[in-house]
Structure 1
Amino acid sequence: MQSEEFYFSQVTLLVTHYNRPASLARLLSSFASLGCRFGEIIVSDDCSTAENLMLVKKLQAEFEFKLITTPTNAGLGNNINKGQRNATLPLTLYVQEDFVPLALFPQKLSASIRFMQEDSSLDIVRFYAYQRFPFLKTFAEGFSQMYFNPADILSTYNKFYLYSDHPHLRRSDFLNKFGNYKEGVNVEKAEYSMMMSFLKRKGKGLFYEDFKGLFDQKNSTEEPSTFKRNWKRHPSNILIGAARHLYRHIKFNLNYYF
């Protein structure tokens, strides 16, 4: 165990969970092994099976987290909403249960907290992504500020994703400013809706450029990912891809401006 220097007293660690107690145990153990302690920990569970929920409750005794449950499975949007509503500290570190923090993370989380305390206009600091955000201005300590130009039709529509539900630090009143996650829809639609809200309300955030250097995403055969991406949205044919790109750009701008 490392020193107590990584006690984040103003941060709620919010973990969303569904039927993967071994992954949850790995995540919480990894934070502990890095010397990370938080002002509070919330695990928001989306109606796991009785067997898995029993294992989560055993972890609760070890890691002393607040467990928020629900009688029916309601999807990721509801799981994030109910977890966030129970946060009592100024900042929330949001992480899904299949991620593992790496050695550099506590240092960069400390820097992120300082950035958000010094600049009240910052809404979010992002720590992980599948690919680099395309428009960045160098900020400090490996972080860059994201910026957005809705009129740029030539760039990939990855530029839209100033917000992502991958690991990030945000203000705990985030949902007051940007609205709740949309519920009763699939994960991709819920994330897209939140991304649109973030853009329309002029959200401001930082992005860690070495985005594979702070977290690793791990899924085992015993506890595979419960999310299945709709690959029809990601066509390999160039002409179809270009047509979809144009369609999304027009649709996006109609949503953004109107």
Structure 2
Amino acid sequence: MPDNIETPEKTNKKIYSDVTLLITHFNRSTSLRRLLARFDELGFAFGEVVVADGGSKPDHLETVFELEKKHKFKLLTTDVNYGLGHTINSGQNAATKPYILYVQEDFVPKPAFVSALTDGLEIMEQEKTWDIVRFYSFPWAKFPYLKKYKKGFSEMRFSLSPIYTNHHKFYMYSDHPHLKRKTYPEKFGNYVESIHGDVTEMAMCKTFLKKQGKGLYFDDYTALFDHINSEDEPGLFRPINEKNKKYRHNPLLYKPYLKYKTFRETVRYLLDI
């Protein structure tokens, strides 16, 4: 167990003193309340907690201010929504601990995440090879090319070889819950600041590969977090996901569609577009 993790017998808390919990928030204050409460229930205690708000509506901000008083986190606000990239950049700049655990507000950790985070942090501390440790994927978007490593993690592998036919190979980076170093921007730069979250994420995916990033992926990725969106606080509408749903149940269309996506992403990667 890393030296910076303590487990006091009386409180039964896991104290990650070298980790900043960075949460990005935008108009989902009920989800934020649930996330913070769940971390408390599971006994997590971090060196610091930073909540970066992306210009939420006044009613949500009012709730966030109440949560700030209760949970004593560092709150960053902006009057204008500049997009997720700006929000993440602000949060990373405000973080002071050596490691950053990034979680968007609509995720909910499960009990198994305690040991997964402990192991992931230990690996990153002992092995400087790793730039990111991922803890979640959508069930339909599992990273496809993995080499078993240790403690329930696998190394993510990328190749432009046509043998690697799954287009998800281009998404080694993800905005889903992950652990990285405070120095991450020194290697990969800041996030592209766009009002469209997909633009920001895809740009970082490409940069991560171009800079030869190395990452680990938790094999049982559905065991660590739930991703929950309600009607009042819905998830982000992504047209690409609607296309996937449209074709997924029609094998005659879906297989050619996936081949097209792999070809398209390969061209974009090679031409840097």
For the aligned pair, the TM-score class normalised by the smaller chain equals over 0.9
Unpaired runs of 5+ residues, structure 2, are: 1-9, 248-252
1:187 aligns with 2:197: yes
Give SS of 2:100's match.
strand
Supply the distance in 1 between the matched residues of 2:11 and 2:188 (Cα, whole angstroms): 37
1:244, CA displacement in angstroms?
4.1
1:26 to 25, 34, 40: 34
Paired AA for residue 216 in structure 1: D
Distance 1:240 1:124, change over 3 A: closer
Distance 1:147 1:242, change over 3 A: closer
Alignment partner, residue 49 of structure 1:
57
CA offsets per residue over residues 75-111 of structure 1, 9 Å max, x none? 1111111111100000000000000000111111011
1:134 aligns with 2:144: yes
2:173 to 142, 163, 178: 163
Supply the distance in 1 between the matched residues of 2:257 and 2:13 (Cα, whole angstroms): 52
1:115 aligns with 2:132: no
1:220, CA displacement in angstroms?
1.2
Supply the distance in 2 between the matched residues of 1:176 and 1:233 (Cα, whole angstroms): 36
1:125 to 133, 137, 147: 133
Distance 1:180 1:59, change over 3 A: same
Paired AA for residue 108 in structure 2: V
Alignment partner, residue 215 of structure 2:
205
Contact 1:150 1:253 in 2 (8 A): no
Alignment partner, residue 59 of structure 1:
67
CA offsets per residue over residues 145-195 of structure 1, 9 Å max, x none? 111112235511101111000000010111221011111251111111101
Alignment partner, residue 173 of structure 1:
183
Aligned length in residues: 255
Q: Percent identity?
A: 42
Unpaired runs of 5+ residues, structure 1, are: none
Alignment partner, residue 228 of structure 1:
237
Alignment partner, residue 4 of structure 2:
none
Moved more, 35-44 or 213-222: 213-222
Distance 1:74 1:4, change over 3 A: same
Contact 1:96 1:166 in 2 (8 A): yes
Contact 2:82 2:195 in 1 (8 A): no
Paired AA for residue 110 in structure 1: T
TM-align CA RMSD: 1.9
1:89 to 91, 97, 100: 97
Supply the distance in 2 between the matched residues of 1:233 and 1:246 (Cα, whole angstroms): 17
